[in-house]
Amino acid sequence: MADITTPVGAPEEVVTKALVREIDLAAFGAQGTLALITIDNGLDHTRPNTLGPKSLQELDNAITAAENSSAVAIAITGKPFIFAAGADLSGLPFVTEKSQSLAIGKFGHDVFKRLGRSKKATFAFINGLALGGGLEVGLHCNYRTMASTALTALPECFLGIVPGWGGATILPKLIGPERAVQVIILNALNNNTMMKAKEAQGLGVVDAVYEPADFLERSVAFAARIISGKEQIDRQDYTADVAAWDKAIATGKAAIAKKYGGADIEAPRRALELIYAARTNTLDQGFDAEDEILANLVMGNPLRSSLYAFNLIQKKRKKVEGAPKPALARKVTKVGVVGAGLMASQLALLIVRNLKVPVVMTDLDQARVDKGVAWVHAEIAKLVEKKRLNEEAGRRLSLLVTGSVDQSVFAGADFIIEAVFEELSIKQKLFKDLEAIIAPECVLATNTSSLSVEKMGEGLQHPERVVGFHFFNPVAVMPLLEVARTSKTDDATTATAINVGKELKKTMIICKDAPGFVVNRLLTRFMGEVTDAMDEGTPADVADNALRPLGFPMSPFELFGLVGPGVALHVSKTLNANLGPRYRVSPTVQRLVDKGVKTFYTKDESGKLIPNPEALALVEKGTKASTGEGVKLRALKALAEEARMMLDEGVVATAAEIDLCMLMGAGWPMHLGGILPYLDREGISEVVCGQRFHPHGVASLPA
């Protein structure tokens, strides 16, 4: 085995075995046998095959056995449902020397390239999920087949590294620079979008796609046709067209700039360098460059931060901190949605698609009800049109969504969520009216973003069934759901809400019923410091661009336009009234609302964002300008102060939950990890709070 030791403190590697058997090709019309290597970690499909040092040695031994056999060809496949999920990343946060990282990168290349340089034809039968190094194993082979249900991706840039076992060098040569940029950069930065089998075939990543029922048999038959010369796969040489490579790199740079707001993020930039170099590099030159760049990235903060964030998200998807026992949850067979505006309609669509139970919507008049129901039906029809639903399923879902102006239709509902105007008295009256109609066990949930949930339940016979259920816009896309318990909310209500959230496929935190919950409280404080700096005299562009180096996808004032001045003003006023003057109500924002000005930016004829002169004319004319660095530091200090208060107040139980909320609900960049580890690393936590939020760091957190 290669001389690679497990880093001190790293979890024990789950070893993926590599088993070899020979398949007679006579029945498939070819002479000789095929040496089939099956990689399998011996666990069920919830734990994918991964490739750490011991697993790579297993694969190396299997390739040697296949090479030494009488077989005429070699193929590699995975266990049921899983090909391989790539490198075992659990040990990377514990790597302390660059030489350790360099060694694992080189060993992976040494093993994989044996498949590309064998005198025997080599095949990858990608029978299931293939991510990162899993796909790279296949790229080293001469030919690839893929099961129609399998998914594949190179997610490395999403995690703060580069495809380092051949992907950044082989893929551009195989499918061309434009398609390689799509797979390595665009897909990875778009929340790690995965390719379906047909898409992978269309891009040229794989050569053939077969149904899973007889996938292995048909893949062997494909191999037999190649070996016997009955079928030939032609490969194109993409290296001559320099203009195509320049264009592809420009596309990648534009995508990176858009994703990170113009900030210089090393991993995707380095990946683009490797892609461009693949045009002239030999394979060995490309592999050496991958090793060096990957080793450097492994030693940097972005990877460790990304791994912390990624592992945190994966962990919290499965387990909600402080959730009551699932057995306490009540069955939900009918859902009511109060309101038929856009937010309410989005909620109705999400609920009916996932719970597949009757959903009834109400509003003040029939026209609004009809419009809301029609919107849901139209969205279902679009899903059928796009073949994401079959016609029968679409018809069934549409029949489940109805509307009325009469709230008596909520009789028999087990769960009701309101999304009406953000006015406490309106919501209080609504819940009192509903209590006369519904059963005592029916949950009353509110999608409020800033109002007191407990006050909504005042005067009710059963305030224990009231719970905050705060979604983020757009509802179908944003993964976070804040579940807010009041002092009276009981365990059965909370358990029911958590169960509904899981069925809606949301990542949840349970928080105390406190103004702004988690995300809006932090985001409003953060944004408030930027608008305050502008009101004090800092030029609008300086204030707005101060945080661009962090890599947010949009600036504070761009986000302001998306949220809307009216919502921003309402939230800031609510938090000002409840939390005090540190939540200042901006006179500029008040003027924007009064004058009906919606955004700080407009678009020119080319679609580029430019300052809105109407908004600039309404900016408070202060005389105390700050620098961009001053605004950035001020905003980050405010975040540290507010986060410390929230933990002291028990709004959430752990610092990790604040990290999760900002990652999933506010777009905090993955490469920075959680917000609180970032504040710790920058020294801001200790300056503001006298202590770190994560005293022992986050690099050693287990996956």
CATH class of 326-512: alpha beta
Higher pLDDT: 10 or 701? It is: 10
Q: What is the pLDDT of residue 618?
A: 94
> Which pair of tokens denotes residue 597?
């000005």
User: Does 136 qualify as catalytic in the annotation?
Assistant: yes
Those residues whose C-beta lies under 8 Å from the C-beta of residue 403, and which sit 6 or more positions away, are 340, 360, 361, 362, 363, 369, 370, 372, 373
> Is residue 670 very low, low, confident or very high in pLDDT (cuts 50, 70, 90)?
confident
pLDDT tens digits, one per residue of 538-566: 999 999 999 988 888 888 999 888 888 99
Residues 588-608: what's their mean pLDDT?
91
> Is residue 2 very low, low, confident or very high in pLDDT (cuts 50, 70, 90)?
low
Distance, in Å, from the CA atom of 523 to the CA atom of 631, rounded to the nearest integer, reads 15
The verdict on whether omega for the bond into residue 155 sits within 30 degrees of 0, i.e. cis, is no
pLDDT of residue 441 exceeding 90: yes
Q: What is the pLDDT of residue 92?
A: 80
The answer to whether the CB of 652 falls within 8 A of the CB of 642 is: no
> Is residue 412 very low, low, confident or very high in pLDDT (cuts 50, 70, 90)?
very high
Distance, in Å, from the CA atom of 204 to the CA atom of 206, rounded to the nearest integer, reads 5
Q: How far is CA 668 from its chain centroid?
A: 11
Q: What is the pLDDT of residue 699?
A: 55
pLDDT of residue 499 exceeding 90: yes
Indicate which residue of 13, 22, 156, 422 is catalytic: 156
Instruction: Please state the domain extents for the chain.
Output: 17-299, 326-512, 519-633
Indicate which residue of 58, 136, 379, 482 is catalytic: 136
Q: What is the pLDDT of residue 609?
A: 85
Q: What is the pLDDT of residue 702?
A: 35
pLDDT tens digits, one per residue of 37-50: 999 998 877 789 99
Per-residue CA distances from 249 to 177, 244, 268, 595, 698 (Å): 8, 9, 11, 44, 34
Residues 197-225: what's their mean pLDDT?
97
Would strands 480-485 and 466-470 be described as parallel, antiparallel, or unpaired?
Answer: antiparallel
CATH class of 17-299: alpha beta
Q: What is the pLDDT of residue 553?
A: 81
Which 8-state DSSP code applies to residue 408?
Answer: G
> Is residue 88 very low, low, confident or very high in pLDDT (cuts 50, 70, 90)?
confident
* DSSP H stretches of helix in 403-518: 424-435, 453-456, 491-503
Q: What is the pLDDT of residue 1?
A: 44
3-state secondary structure 124-143: EEECCEEECHHHHHHHHCCE
Q: What is the pLDDT of residue 3?
A: 56
* Amino acid at position 82, single letter: I
pLDDT cut 90: percent of the chain above it: 83
CATH second-level architecture of 519-633? Orthogonal Bundle (1.10)
pTM: 0.88
> Is residue 63 very low, low, confident or very high in pLDDT (cuts 50, 70, 90)?
very high
User: Does 156 qualify as catalytic in the annotation?
Assistant: yes
Q: What is the pLDDT of residue 700?
A: 41
> Is residue 89 very low, low, confident or very high in pLDDT (cuts 50, 70, 90)?
confident
The answer to whether the CB of 417 falls within 8 A of the CB of 337 is: yes
Residues 149-154: what's their mean pLDDT?
97
